[in-house]
Structure formats: C-alpha cells, structure tokens
Chain A
Amino acid sequence: MDWQAIWLSVRLAASTTVILLMVGVPLAYWISFSRRRWKFLVEAVVALPLVLPPTVLGFYVLLAIGPRSPVGALYARLTGGMLPFSFQGLLLASVLYSLPFTVQPVAAAFAGVDRKLVEASWCLGVSRAATFRRVIVPLAAPGIATGAILSFAHTMGEFGVVLMVGGNIAGVTRTVSISIYDQVQSLDYGAATETSLFLLAISFAVLAATYALQRRVWAIWPAN
C-alpha cells in the first residue's frame, strides 16, 4: 500500500476540515440568519461544487492561482513559492471543493435551533456573538460534527480537482485516489485492491458515524 499517499491524503483532509470549520461555520451562520434578498446567490455559489465537474472547478482554480493571476502573483511575492502543483494550492482547491459539505449541514443545524432560544438570550442582554457561542453552537454541535466528517471524507477521496491543480508528485500532491489510479494504470491490481479496500472501509466508517450522530444514537448531552 502507498502509505505516503495515504498520509498525504489524511494531512490534506485534516487541514481542509480545520480551515472549512473556520470559514464554513461563519458562512453557514450568515446563510441561516441573514435576511438579505440576494442570499440565494451566495447559497448557489456555495453549492456549485456539488454539481460542477471536478475538472471544471480544478481548471478555474488552476487559472486563478497561476503565477500570472493576481492571487498567484501575490502568493509568489509573499512566500516566493508557487501555488499550482503544491500542497498549499491543493489545500485551497480542496477547501473550495468541499465547502458545501461543511456549509450545508451546519446551516441546516443552525436553522434547526429554535429561534426563540436565540431571542431569549438576546433579551437576557447577551450579545449576538456570545449567544452564538453559548446557545447556537452547542445546540448545533451534531450538525457541525456532521459537516466536519463529511468534509474530511470528501477530501480523502477527491480525484479530479487534485489532478488538475496538484498533478501527481509523490509526497507533495499524489493523494490516495491518484495512487490507486497509478496502480491500475501499471496493472498492479493487488496494490490497487488493497488501497481501494482501505478507502472503502474508511468511507463506510465515516458515513456510519455521521448517520449515528444525526440520529443521536450517542447522546450528545448527558441524560438526567
């Protein structure tokens, strides 16, 4: 088994999830509670990666971070490196690609928090930010966990975007799914079977955990 690729995928998925929690949770809050009329546009943009072919997304990201683009130029000036075909570039693409997998469950969980509890907190003189931290997040915890797990799993298995943005550099951008593709291409079916089985097992475990969380098989709050 290509442990190097597995380890790279795990690192990529973990970093993506952490960034998505920092970016996606505030975005989900805005989507759940904003009354702006153009909110639907933001929702549509966030959901785009669900329907867009990964190659299309990857293509645009590649253009956007290339050395001649403003983003790429700025990055080069700041770090001296380049985004395409690097781990950082891959990370950026993964965050965009998995955005809906964080935002949608979290936004749904926020929307599911009884509005009256939020208003009760406000009327008790507690600020919006503190209310978010003390009431909304604890009550939406299962949804936030679901979003994190789904984003992790989704990044673990991404292929098209990685190929477009990262290429196939061992230890830098060769993730598990690309490794499997390589193995099949070189007719090494034994290794491909092993790695695939490993990915299948992980995906199943993650999804089972997600559904268990949603059904609250495990009590989130201690019973009394």
Chain B
Amino acid sequence: MAGELNCACRTRLDSGFSLDAQLRIPFDQSPVTVLFGPSGSGKTTLLRMLAGLDRPAEGIITFRGERWFDASSSLCLPPQKRRAGFLFQDYALFPHLNVAYNIAYAARPGKGREYLKAFGLADLAGRLPRSISGGQQQRVALARALAAEPALLLLDEPLSALDAATRLRTRHQLRDMLLTAGVPSIIITHDRMEAVALGDWMAVMVGGRILQAGPVQEVFRHPVNGQVAECVGVENVLPARIAARENGLLTLEIGAARLQSIDSGEAGPVVACIRAEDVAISRDLSATSSARNRLAGHVRSVILEGPLARVELDCGIPLVAVVTAQSVAEMRLQAGDAVSAIVKTTSVHVAPWSENDSAAK
C-alpha cells in the first residue's frame, strides 16, 4: 500500500456541467479516502475518469508515478491497464454467473475460492446474483473487485443501495475489509456519518471543484470556507466582519451581534462557522461564565429528533443549537421563550468568505 494519486482534470459534459478537479491523495498515510459532496457535484464523473471509463478533455492523472492520462501527449490508458477496481452503485454483478463465478471472473486460479471463503460467501457459491440480498450482493461485488488484485479501488456510493439497517451494519465491515485487503481506496459518499466512519482522508467536491482535501477530522473541524462548512454539515455559517483583533482574539461583527473567536490569521470578509452542538442554551440572562460569547434572544422553534432536539434561536442572528431532549424537557423550552445562547470562543471557527456561500446571498 503505497503511492500517491495526482489528478488535475478538466472536462465539460454535454449537459454543460464543467468539472475542474485538482486532487492529490497520499495513500501512504491514509489508505481510505472519501470523496464527499452533494449530489450532482461531479463525484461519479471524477471517479469514472480515474478508472479510465471516461476521458477528461484536459489534464493529467498519475498514480504511483505512473501516468494514466496525459492530454498533452494524448495518453489515456484503458481501464484494463490501470487495474483500478470499480465498485458500481448497484454493484453490476454478472446476472448470468453465480456468486462463485462472479468472484472468480477475473481472479488468478484459486484466488476466487479464497475470496469466496474470506468474505463468508461459500454458502451462496451456487446462487445467482438476483436471488441474494443487497448486502450479500455488495459483498460479492467487493470480493470480485479485490479478487482481481487491483492497484486502487474506486467505490461509487457502495452503501446507497442498501436499506438503512444493513447500511449501518455494513459501514464498519466495509472499512475493515478495505483495510484488511490493503488496497488504497476512494469512496464516494454524500453522507457525513459515512464519511467519518469510512475515511482517513477526505476531499470535498462542490460544483465540479475540489474545495478542500485533508484528514477527515481536519476537514470537519476546519473547513476552508463557508461553502465547505455548509457542505460538511456545520449548521451555523454566518457572514461576518472582523471588527477588532487583539491578544490573539478576533471580535466578529455578525449583523447586530458580536462574537469572539481565536485569531487564525484570516482577513477580509469571513464566515463564522459554529456547530449546532457547540451552542448551549441558558435561561439565565445575566450570569457570567467562562464563555465569552453570550447572545440574548428568543426561541423560534423546538424540533425533537429522538434523543436530541434541534432548537432554532433568534439572537439578532439566526442560530441553530442541538441539545439533548432531556435538557429541553427540564428547561421547558418553548417557542417564544427568552433565552441566551452561549458559544465558547474556541467553538467559533473563522473561514474566508467565498463567493458561492449561500448564507451570504
């Protein structure tokens, strides 16, 4: 398991969608990469170009120093030469071959049986794909791809065809299987939980561009701009102006409200990103605490979501908080209640404002 994937590709689809993806994935440190982004952001197109199924208009793709695609010299290796296994969203199992033959399809002699056993599919060996469950089909597809001993594995939303219960169960199995196989992988997903559970490295793709790439936790904690912040599920992305800067702290002006944050060196127009779970709610309107940011306002709505509750606040600025359902019950929170919202200074992440930030529109 080694090497690096470098991709700088541009293409334009018939639909007018343009893709311009710059991506470098160091597989040495992070075997599983998640390609994350909303539907229609071009993730599948990018993955197909990496596999050699679609040809970019311009650019270059190298893997482990080997050139897979280079527009300047009209080089485009066919999928067979790249040995990049591709797991399709609906698995694309050969319907006329049973499970054993599907797995052995491109495997060296003996390998097929080995993978059949390793993936716990021996009991299904003689069954046709249409007669086994979605979860089993997914395992067959993964076994088939790995049995061909690929250099890189590309998975297009591998869990999306499964029902909710199977998806949760399979998520962790999938990561284990990929790590055991030791094949560098790129997984497409638009699900945040999946991204966290599956990936080491993460690339965020929006509108045909890679906006940020890095270790998963890093991307979630420090989105480079408001667009990425919204994309990775930061509920509060607020356009702000830097009003003051002193002692390593920033004072942000957000509409009528003022918030303090750690000075990360940003300048110019910024967005303040605050995770909903980092917003605390207090009925006490005056007391001081270690938290520097205390905004008075009122509750607009309370929505119970299982053990948690989503509370929408109006503090001069719209703010979303996620607290436990228990707290809501104890505080008897209702729409219209006067409360204060408390945010720790360290929980306010400042990122540069980008033109596409919808919050700013």
Q: Which A residues have a C-beta under 8 Å from some C-beta of B?
A: 114, 116-117, 119-127, 134-135, 138-139, 221, 224
Interface of B is mostly: loop
Does the CB pair A119–B94 fall under 8 Å?
A: no
Q: Quick check: is B58 within 8 A (CB to CB) of the other chain?
A: no
Q: What are 25 of the A-B contact pairs (CB < 8 Å)?
A: A116-B88, A117-B92, A117-B95, A119-B92, A120-B88, A121-B105, A122-B78, A122-B79, A123-B51, A123-B84, A123-B85, A123-B145, A124-B85, A124-B106, A124-B144, A124-B145, A125-B80, A125-B83, A125-B106, A126-B105, A135-B94, A139-B95, A139-B96, A221-B96, A224-B127
Chain A residues contacting B83 (CB-CB under 8 Å) are 125
Q: Quick check: is B126 within 8 A (CB to CB) of the other chain?
A: yes
Complex: A120 Cα to B103 Cα, angstroms: 12
Complex: A4 Cα to B150 Cα, angstroms: 61
Q: A131's closest neighbor in chain B, by CB?
A: B80
Please tell me the number of chain B residues within 8 Å of chain A, measured between CB atoms. Answer: 27
New A-B contacts (12) at CB < 8 Å, excluding given A114-B92, A123-B145: A119-B79, A119-B88, A120-B86, A123-B51, A124-B85, A124-B105, A124-B106, A139-B95, A221-B95, A221-B96, A221-B128, A224-B126
Q: A114's closest neighbor in chain B, by CB?
A: B92
Chain B residues contacting A126 (CB-CB under 8 Å) are 80, 105-106
Chain A residues contacting B145 (CB-CB under 8 Å) are 123-124
Chain B residues contacting A127 (CB-CB under 8 Å) are 80
The answer, among B79, B106, B131, for a CB contact under 8 Å with A224, is B131
Chain A CB count within 10 A is highest, among B51, B80, B86, B128, for: B80
Distance in angstroms from A33 CB to nearest chain B CB is: 14
Chain B residues contacting A120 (CB-CB under 8 Å) are 86, 88, 92, 94
Distance in angstroms from A213 CB to nearest chain B CB is: 16
Check A123/B105 contact, CB under 8 A, given A116-B92, A138-B96. no
Count, A-B residue pairs, CB within 8 A = 62
Q: Quick check: is B90 within 8 A (CB to CB) of the other chain?
A: yes
Complex: A125 Cα to B80 Cα, angstroms: 4
Q: Quick check: is B148 within 8 A (CB to CB) of the other chain?
A: yes
Chain B residues contacting A138 (CB-CB under 8 Å) are 96
Q: Quick check: is B181 within 8 A (CB to CB) of the other chain?
A: no
Q: Quick check: is B196 within 8 A (CB to CB) of the other chain?
A: no
Distance in angstroms from A153 CB to nearest chain B CB is: 27
Chain A residues contacting B96 (CB-CB under 8 Å) are 138-139, 221
Does the CB pair B94–A125 fall under 8 Å?
A: no
Complex: A120 Cα to B88 Cα, angstroms: 8
Complex: A117 Cα to B94 Cα, angstroms: 6
Q: Quick check: is B53 within 8 A (CB to CB) of the other chain?
A: yes
Q: B85's closest neighbor in chain A, by CB?
A: A123
The answer, among A114, A123, A135, A139, for a CB contact under 8 Å with B53, is A123
Distance in angstroms from A28 CB to nearest chain B CB is: 19
Complex: A139 Cα to B128 Cα, angstroms: 14
Distance in angstroms from A155 CB to nearest chain B CB is: 30
Distance in angstroms from B185 CB to nearest chain A CB is: 14
Complex: A96 Cα to B17 Cα, angstroms: 44
Complex: A135 Cα to B98 Cα, angstroms: 13
Per-residue 0/1 for B93-136: is the Cβ within 8 Å of any A Cβ (1 yes, 0 no)? 01110100000011000000000000000000011100100000
Does the CB pair B94–A123 fall under 8 Å?
A: no
Chain B residues contacting A123 (CB-CB under 8 Å) are 51-53, 79, 84-86, 145
Complex: A14 Cα to B60 Cα, angstroms: 53
Complex: A150 Cα to B150 Cα, angstroms: 43
Chain B residues contacting A124 (CB-CB under 8 Å) are 85, 105-106, 144-145, 148
Check A119/B106 contact, CB under 8 A, given A124-B145, A125-B80, A127-B80. no
Chain A residues contacting B84 (CB-CB under 8 Å) are 123
Chain B residues contacting A114 (CB-CB under 8 Å) are 92
Distance in angstroms from A135 CB to nearest chain B CB is: 6
Distance in angstroms from A23 CB to nearest chain B CB is: 25
Q: B81's closest neighbor in chain A, by CB?
A: A125
Distance in angstroms from B160 CB to nearest chain A CB is: 15
Chain A residues contacting B94 (CB-CB under 8 Å) are 117, 120-121, 135
Complex: A126 Cα to B108 Cα, angstroms: 12
Check A224/B86 contact, CB under 8 A, given A116-B92, A122-B80, A139-B95. no
